[in-house]
Chain A
Amino acid sequence: MTGTADLKEFIAAYLVEAEEHLTVANTQLLAIESAQRSGETNPRAVRETFRSLHTIKGLSAMVGVEPVVAIAHRMENFLRDTDRSGGTLPQLAIDALLRGVRAIEQRVAALSRGDAAAAPSEELLAALDSLGLGTKPVARSPVAVLELEPALLAKLAPFEVEQLLRGIAAGQRALRAEFSPSPERATQGLTINSIRERMAKVADIVRVLPRAVPMSPEAPGGLCFVLILLTRSTDDTITDAVGLNRGSLQSIVRTAPEPVADAEVAPNVESALDGAEDGPLDALSRRGVVRVDVSRLDDAMEGLSALIVTRFRLTRAIASLSESGVNTRELTEILKDNARQLRDLRAAIVRVRMVPVSELLERLPLLVRGLQRATHRLVRLELEGGNAELDKSVSERVFPALVHLVRNAVDHAIETPDERLRRNKPEEGLLRITCGARGSTRLEITVSDDGRGIDRAAVAKKAGRADPAGDTDLLDLLCIPGLSTREVVTTTSGRGMGMEIVKRTIVDELGGELEVHSQLGQGTTFTLRVPLTISIVDAFSFECEGQRFVVPVTMVEEIIEVDASDFVQLPANDDGSPTLNIISRRGAALPMLQLAHVFKLQSGKELSARKAIVVRRAGAPIAFAVDRMLGQQEVVIRPINDVLLRAPGVSGATDLGDGRPTLVLDLVALSASLTRGTPGEAKAASAVTQLPARMR
């Protein structure tokens, strides 16, 4: 038998879970704060926060992180008392609790770096200790309106009863749904977890209560779960969504209210939190979630691309076998299955790497809150995320850039409340961040403020350059390393190097776009566009002057034959740019460029091209003539980011199985870079009239 377990080995996993709970604590505390601003309490949030701190304390004790235990213990005690007394937290308490969360975050971060967790300051501990309140049990609520067995009713917490009553008063339906687990239902995917998950989409789950029932074919485990619900959905909607049958739903609203003096069925406040162990149902319910290290996903992707390359080699090997007369039919069939499986695997891995944009946005409210304090501004943050998802490594790179823009907005752009009033603006500045998918490959993020806008002249002067003509020039100015328009470096930002790094991350590293639009006195909007995923795409491979290239299938409209007699060559351009040709396609004139000329692979006029790839740019088709098409396959596109490799039309590199990189071309972008308002287009137009009649 091996030696006893060393719990210190669990530190890494502990740090991951701790971070999750800290996020919950932050979110819940902010929710409490905002509820209290509108004069309401949020007891559920109090309880959730309590639970998070309690779990953090327990885990920290197990792995021996004493400083965190000390902080969490005090916070947990205070939250338990708060819950008992009805869940009201004075602002000072919320601040102190957020401080406590922050203190734990710092120690968790330190441990992640391999440093020790510092002992908490006496001042922090004293601040947390002094939060203690006296306990006052909550008054009981009348439950005459609800029709539910006393045994079940007794198990509901006061705030749950209150939730039901308020819901009924607001016109919602209060129901119970019953579910008995069984092996058959489990194989059909019906478990208490899956039922809860689906139910949460069509109803608010107030509570789930287990009850013992006599064993029967219907309930082979002798167990039935009763879900207490509030909803506006119909019974059919619910049963369809969840997979239960109609008979399992029943209303729990009494049709004829009875006098209050009935049995004292108020829930037992004592048991609610003193054992510190009960908790409400998490309305978001626990999804089966696994945290995965991004590097493991990278490994999986590497493995996958190796598989794809191997399959391509297999295909070629089979092709040459076939050429020498071997019957490869069965092999080909197997390879087709293999292709399909690889495609599915690829899709699955790509999906795993995707994270929702909310991950980018969820930490921003806390950041803005702190920034407001530090800079004495009032800022309202509006977030619009939508349902987009993006690759985890893209998200990780975008986040610091986003943080920088937010800091800039609060610190530099948005004016103090006084100044804003003087300018007839509302006291509270507005910071709006939106995320939306652009097409199927890009995510567009905008960060806009209604602050003072960018003073172009001041920026230009600081940079020692001329006033920027348009927004593009302004952006270039802003991204000069070391630029800062503040004489004094402020506490939160203003070191002046941030904008340059935003550009480097978004544009150079990720191959995205960055734009700014600003109006003096009115506000500024930054727009970022980043790729959603790293790509594995279907691509055509072809050869041009002995060199191989690939182009994504989705970009190609058509591949046509090219015959020397089919096209007309226009007169050469004076500026040496590649000559345009016109080829006839289904009676219409199609401009065509020879890729060999465009890439200066060969300058002779002789055409060795036999095929042309047609793409469409801004609605107009254009063709690129190449020597021959090689085939179609899935390729992994690796971005090529280095500044030395910025070339029009080159969007990445891939491996076709020979270990050498093959360029991935973006023919649409290439054509854009070549024909931007060039004389070529005008020439093309006039050349059409010169075409022989049969080609027109």
Chain B
Amino acid sequence: MKLHVVFSIAGAEYALPFDSVLQMESYDGATLVPGAPDYVDGIVTVRGLVVPVVDLRTRFGLPRAELNLDTRIILTESRARVVALRVDSAREVIKLDIDKHQPAPSVVIERSSGFVHAVHPLGKRLLLLLDLPKLLGEDSHDSKSRALPEDDGSLDRAQLPG
């Protein structure tokens, strides 16, 4: 059982693992960054960090929505990048049994440009699970650590005399 954050965009509900979420904030706009991709609203400052805001509606190819009191940004962390996701609303944090995740039907994967990689039925609801690295534009699914192999101990063997 793992905690997940549940949010909605254009009536559909999505879920992200809680351990990749830093915090959720209300949102009243970002500073535009000319030259950034069109799905980037701009930048905001949160906890001293300057983070980009990705409008998930635009990212999913949906028309933009007006800001209202429900609009939220979800600060996510993936491989040392912090990116905020703009969503229509985000109200729940619930425990999901990850064994109950199901592979997404291919039509769903296609329609979502591959951003949805699994689904989770919850009673009458169907939660769509997002592939965060892909959403944020990471090229590879390489999950190796970022740290440089500075000290892998091999130098030890090298220094033994003889």
Interface, chain A (partner B; CB < 8 A):
92, 95-96, 98-99, 102, 106, 109, 302, 367, 370-371, 373-374, 400-401, 403-404, 481-482, 491-493, 495, 497-498, 501-502, 504, 547, 598-601, 638, 640, 642-650, 653, 655, 659-663
In the complex, what's the smallest C-beta–C-beta distance from B121 to chain A, in angstroms? 33
A371 adjacent to B161 (CB under 8 Å)? no
* Residue B33 interfacial (CB < 8 Å): yes
Interface digits, B136-148 against A, CB 8 Å rule (1 contact, 0 not)? 1101101010111
- Which one of A497, A504, A600, A653 lies within 8 Å of B34 (CB-CB)? A600
- Of all A-B residue pairs in the complex, the 5 with the closest CB atoms, nearest first, are A647-B35, A374-B158, A599-B34, A400-B148, A491-B154
* Residue B99 interfacial (CB < 8 Å): no
B148 adjacent to A644 (CB under 8 Å)? no
A649 to B156, CA, bound (A): 47
In the complex, what's the smallest C-beta–C-beta distance from B8 to chain A, in angstroms? 23
Q: Which stretch, B9-17, B38-46, B110-118, touches the partner chain A?
A: B38-46
B154 adjacent to A661 (CB under 8 Å)? no
CB neighbours of B54 from chain A (8 A): 644
- Which one of B31, B34, B146 lies within 8 Å of A661 (CB-CB)? B31
A640 adjacent to B50 (CB under 8 Å)? yes
CB neighbours of B35 from chain A (8 A): 599, 646-650
In the complex, what's the smallest C-beta–C-beta distance from A318 to chain B, in angstroms? 25
Interface CB pairs A-B, < 8 A, 12: A99-B160, A102-B159, A373-B158, A374-B155, A491-B158, A638-B50, A643-B81, A644-B137, A646-B35, A647-B36, A648-B35, A661-B50
CB neighbours of B136 from chain A (8 A): 644
**Nearest-CB residue, chain B, relative to A490:** B154
A659 adjacent to B45 (CB under 8 Å)? yes
In the complex, what's the smallest C-beta–C-beta distance from A453 to chain B, in angstroms? 24
CB neighbours of B158 from chain A (8 A): 370-371, 373-374, 491-492
CB neighbours of A481 from chain B (8 A): 139-140, 142
A371 to B155, CA, bound (A): 7
B161 adjacent to A92 (CB under 8 Å)? yes
**Nearest-CB residue, chain A, relative to B140:** A481
* Residue B21 interfacial (CB < 8 Å): no
* Residue B124 interfacial (CB < 8 Å): no
B150 adjacent to A640 (CB under 8 Å)? no
Contacts A599-B35, A644-B52, A646-B35 given; 17 further ones with Cβ under 8 A? A99-B159, A102-B156, A371-B158, A374-B154, A492-B154, A492-B155, A501-B148, A642-B52, A644-B54, A644-B83, A644-B136, A644-B137, A645-B33, A647-B36, A653-B45, A661-B44, A661-B45
CB neighbours of A501 from chain B (8 A): 146, 148
Query: Given the known A-B contacts A374-B158, A640-B50, A644-B54, are A498 and B33 also in contact in the complex, defined by CB atoms under 8 Å?
Result: no
In the complex, what's the smallest C-beta–C-beta distance from B1 to chain A, in angstroms? 29
* Residue B149 interfacial (CB < 8 Å): yes
* Residue B67 interfacial (CB < 8 Å): no
CB neighbours of A403 from chain B (8 A): 148, 150
In the complex, what's the smallest C-beta–C-beta distance from A399 to chain B, in angstroms? 8
B157 adjacent to A491 (CB under 8 Å)? yes
**Nearest-CB residue, chain A, relative to B155:** A370
CB neighbours of A642 from chain B (8 A): 51-52, 81-83
In the complex, what's the smallest C-beta–C-beta distance from B44 to chain A, in angstroms? 7
Query: Given the known A-B contacts A481-B142, A501-B146, are A661 and B159 also in contact in the complex, defined by CB atoms under 8 Å?
Result: no
**Nearest-CB residue, chain A, relative to B138:** A643
**Nearest-CB residue, chain A, relative to B151:** A109
A95 to B139, CA, bound (A): 45
CB neighbours of B37 from chain A (8 A): 644
* Residue B63 interfacial (CB < 8 Å): no
CB neighbours of A367 from chain B (8 A): 155
B33 adjacent to A98 (CB under 8 Å)? no
A647 to B36, CA, bound (A): 6
* Residue B109 interfacial (CB < 8 Å): no
**Nearest-CB residue, chain B, relative to A374:** B158
A400 to B142, CA, bound (A): 20
CB neighbours of B159 from chain A (8 A): 95, 98-99, 102, 370, 373
**Nearest-CB residue, chain B, relative to A673:** B35
* Residue B48 interfacial (CB < 8 Å): yes
- Which one of A371, A495, A645, A659 lies within 8 Å of B36 (CB-CB)? A645
A400 adjacent to B150 (CB under 8 Å)? yes
A655 adjacent to B148 (CB under 8 Å)? no
A401 adjacent to B155 (CB under 8 Å)? no
CB neighbours of A92 from chain B (8 A): 161
* Residue B32 interfacial (CB < 8 Å): yes
B48 adjacent to A302 (CB under 8 Å)? yes
CB neighbours of B140 from chain A (8 A): 481-482
A663 adjacent to B31 (CB under 8 Å)? yes
In the complex, what's the smallest C-beta–C-beta distance from A664 to chain B, in angstroms? 11
A109 to B35, CA, bound (A): 44
CB neighbours of A497 from chain B (8 A): 142, 144
A650 adjacent to B33 (CB under 8 Å)? yes
**Nearest-CB residue, chain A, relative to B42:** A661
CB neighbours of B160 from chain A (8 A): 99
CB neighbours of A493 from chain B (8 A): 149
CB neighbours of B150 from chain A (8 A): 400, 403
CB neighbours of B137 from chain A (8 A): 643-644
In the complex, what's the smallest C-beta–C-beta distance from A198 to chain B, in angstroms? 38
A403 to B151, CA, bound (A): 10
A502 to B148, CA, bound (A): 8
A91 to B142, CA, bound (A): 44
CB neighbours of A109 from chain B (8 A): 151
**Nearest-CB residue, chain A, relative to B51:** A642
Q: Which of A404, A495, A645 has the most CB of B within 10 A?
A: A645
A501 to B51, CA, bound (A): 21
CB neighbours of A650 from chain B (8 A): 33-35
A400 adjacent to B31 (CB under 8 Å)? no
**Nearest-CB residue, chain B, relative to A648:** B35
**Nearest-CB residue, chain B, relative to A306:** B48
A663 adjacent to B33 (CB under 8 Å)? yes
- Which one of A302, A655, A663 lies within 8 Å of B45 (CB-CB)? A655
CB neighbours of A653 from chain B (8 A): 31, 43, 45, 50
A646 to B37, CA, bound (A): 9
A96 to B142, CA, bound (A): 40
**Nearest-CB residue, chain A, relative to B81:** A642
CB neighbours of B50 from chain A (8 A): 638, 640, 653, 661
In the complex, what's the smallest C-beta–C-beta distance from A99 to chain B, in angstroms? 6
A601 to B33, CA, bound (A): 10
A302 to B48, CA, bound (A): 9
Query: Given the known A-B contacts A95-B159, A481-B142, are A644 and B36 also in contact in the complex, defined by CB atoms under 8 Å?
Result: yes
In the complex, what's the smallest C-beta–C-beta distance from A368 to chain B, in angstroms? 11
A647 adjacent to B34 (CB under 8 Å)? yes
In the complex, what's the smallest C-beta–C-beta distance from A409 to chain B, in angstroms? 15
